[in-house]
């Protein structure tokens, strides 16, 4: 249901744009005003600004195949830079109120699955390749064909599974869920906190922060996730100042009661010249020689699947929110919107911050009245200003930022209601997709299991004609992916 913009005394006349700026962005033609666009741009920024903190923590907490990490301040600066530039580009070219930033879910895939098998430059090179492929799909019209190949409910299951995957990452990173020390001698592999108890200050900060965020979300407070991170961080700073908890590793020895990744202390400086050293740190060729052709091929495909399906859904959802879709359910300038999104994917890889994608949080700006790309100009400029606040990213511990992962996981989980669980032909593949992502700590495993089981079930029911021809090829690729161990032992 579309949300009407706040009432204003002077209604715009669609037939008479006020100036060239108005005419270019179609502000009056879409029934909006400059003040509505500014409010919408502000609302969108405050509902998604958490990514400037969260993306560096996800990528910065992982190591590549050479055991190297990416610097968190540089990640924060690059995350803000690419989000700002791509959001502005969407506003100017797509002229649609949909902001972009590093994609949650995709960044987890890059951090926890791709980078550990190669270098960071190699991993980001695969992201660049994926972005270029999506651009080709847009320009040739093949993107729609691939989009239609995967059943709608299976696409939904992919999003839900990624939500659960983000949730388990958040719970583990915060230390709320941990491996049981003697897991080999028990049927319970993981447990709550430390020995089944919440007995550390960081864990208490996480629990309190999560409850604060939940209350804000339930009360529909705009910017609830960001406010939750900030409130949790302030609490963490106070706790550290009083209790002197320290890091999770002291002199190389584990400290289970310590803070994960960052110790929450006030930085020596808040504003700094952004560290843009990660820009251009990508390599599109070395991964193929380091790990063979099959693994990079499957990772590129998995990135492509997890990336652009979300964008098409987000585009339609925002269009519905603002009553901007035509009779075929297509928003204005759809091709330009998809093209900018594909450029953003490649730009994210080129800047070492993972694929950038469209954010459904942009619906908050539409609810404030945004209908054009002008709102993106406001959001984009705010992201560029956030670049200079990168030192603040070192203040936020995982225990504070992980509250956002859990809540975002819930928001993504809500789409599960659209899956028909009475139809086993789609319900079983959807279930496997959703379950295997968190349980195997792998997005690609869930997608592969869902597609393979969908093809098998349809063939078993004698409904081969209901399977899109492209899915046969995709299923074969995933079979090769799951069997890559035996295949490599024979071929290599």
Give 259's strand partners.
Answer: 247
In the chain, % of residues over pLDDT 70 = 91
Closest CA to 451 of 462, 121, 465, 470: 470
Dihedral pair phi/psi, residue 250, rounded to 5°? -120, 120
What is the model's pTM?
A: 0.74
pLDDT (0 to 100) of residue 47: 80
Dihedral pair phi/psi, residue 222, rounded to 5°? -65, 130
Taking the C-alpha atoms of residue 342 and residue 134, their distance in angstroms, rounded to an integer, is 5
Give me the torsion for CA of 134, 140, 143, 149, rounded to 10°: -130
Q: What is the 3-state secondary structure (H, E, C) of 408-466?
A: HHHHHHHHHHHCCCCCHHHHHHHHHHHHHHHHCCCHHHHHHHHHHHHHHHHHHCCCHHH
pLDDT digits (tens, 9 = 90+) for 113-143: 899 999 999 999 999 999 999 999 889 987 7
Q: In terms of C-beta distances under 8 Å and separation of at least 24 residues, what long-range contacts does 231-236 make, across chains too?
A: 232/205, 232/206, 232/208, 232/399, 232/400, 232/401, 232/403, 233/264, 233/395, 233/396, 233/397, 233/400, 235/205, 235/208, 235/209, 235/400, 236/202, 236/205, 236/264, 236/397, 236/399, 236/400
pLDDT digits (tens, 9 = 90+) for 432-486: 999 998 998 888 788 889 999 999 999 999 999 999 998 898 888 888 878 866 7
DSSP character at residue 41 = H
Taking the C-alpha atoms of residue 81 and residue 87, their distance in angstroms, rounded to an integer, is 10
Asked whether the beta carbons of 137 and 419 are under 8 A apart, the reply is: no
pLDDT digits (tens, 9 = 90+) for 339-367: 999 999 999 999 999 999 999 788 888 87
pLDDT (0 to 100) of residue 3: 46
Asked whether the beta carbons of 93 and 336 are under 8 A apart, the reply is: yes
């Amino acid at each position: 249901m579309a949300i009407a913009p706040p009432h204003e005394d002077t209604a715009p006349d669609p037939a008479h744009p006020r100036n060239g700026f108005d005419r270019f962005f179609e502000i009056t033609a879409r029934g909006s005003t400059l003040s509505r666009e500014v409010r919408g741009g502000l609302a969108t920024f405050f509902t998604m600004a958490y990514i400037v903190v969260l993306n560096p923590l996800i990528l910065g907490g992982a190591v590549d195949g050479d055991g190297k990490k990416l610097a968190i301040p540089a990640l924060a600066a690059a995350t803000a830079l690419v989000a700002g530039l791509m959001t502005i580009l969407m506003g100017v070219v797509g002229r649609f109120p949909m902001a972009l930033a590093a994609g949650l879910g995709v960044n987890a895939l890059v951090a926890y699955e791709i980078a550990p098998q190669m270098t960071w430059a190699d991993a980001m090179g695969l992201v660049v390749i994926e972005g270029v492929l999506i651009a080709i799909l847009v320009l040739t019209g093949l993107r729609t064909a691939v989009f239609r190949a995967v059943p709608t409910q299976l696409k939904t299951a992919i999003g839900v599974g990624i939500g659960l995957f983000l949730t388990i990452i958040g719970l583990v990173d915060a230390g709320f869920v941990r491996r049981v020390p003697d897991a080999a001698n028990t049927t319970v592999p993981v447990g709550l906190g430390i020995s089944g108890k919440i007995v550390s200050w960081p864990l208490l900060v996480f629990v309190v922060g999560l409850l604060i965020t939940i209350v804000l979300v339930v009360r529909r407070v705009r910017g609830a996730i960001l406010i939750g991170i900030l409130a949790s961080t302030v609490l963490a700073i106070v706790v550290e100042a009083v209790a002197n908890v320290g890091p999770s590793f002291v002199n190389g020895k584990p400290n289970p009661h310590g803070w994960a990744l960052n110790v929450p202390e006030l930085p020596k400086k808040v504003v700094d010249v952004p560290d843009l050293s990660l820009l251009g740190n990508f390599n599109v060729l070395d991964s193929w020689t380091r790990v063979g052709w099959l693994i990079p091929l499957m990772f590129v495909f998995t990135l492509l699947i997890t990336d652009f399906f979300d964008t098409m859904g987000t585009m339609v959802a925002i269009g519905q929110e603002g009553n901007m879709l035509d009779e075929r359910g297509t928003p204005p300038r759809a091709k330009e919107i998809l093209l900018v999104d594909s450029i953003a994917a490649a730009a994210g890889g080129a800047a070492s911050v993972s694929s950038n994608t469209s954010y459904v949080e942009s619906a908050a700006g539409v609810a404030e009245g945004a209908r054009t790309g002008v709102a993106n100009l406001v959001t984009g400029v705010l992201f560029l200003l956030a670049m200079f606040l990168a030192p603040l990213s070192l203040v936020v511990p995982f225990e504070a930022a992980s509250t956002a992962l859990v809540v975002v996981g819930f928001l993504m989980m809500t789409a599960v209601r659209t899956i028909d669980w009475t139809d086993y032909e789609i319900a079983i593949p959807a279930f496997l997709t959703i379950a295997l992502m968190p349980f195997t700590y792998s997005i690609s495993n869930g997608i592969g299991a869902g597609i393979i089981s969908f093809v098998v079930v349809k063939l078993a029911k004698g409904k081969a004609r209901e399977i899109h021809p492209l899915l046969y090829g995709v299923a074969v690729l995933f079979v090769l992916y799951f069997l890559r161990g035996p295949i490599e032992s024979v071929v290599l």
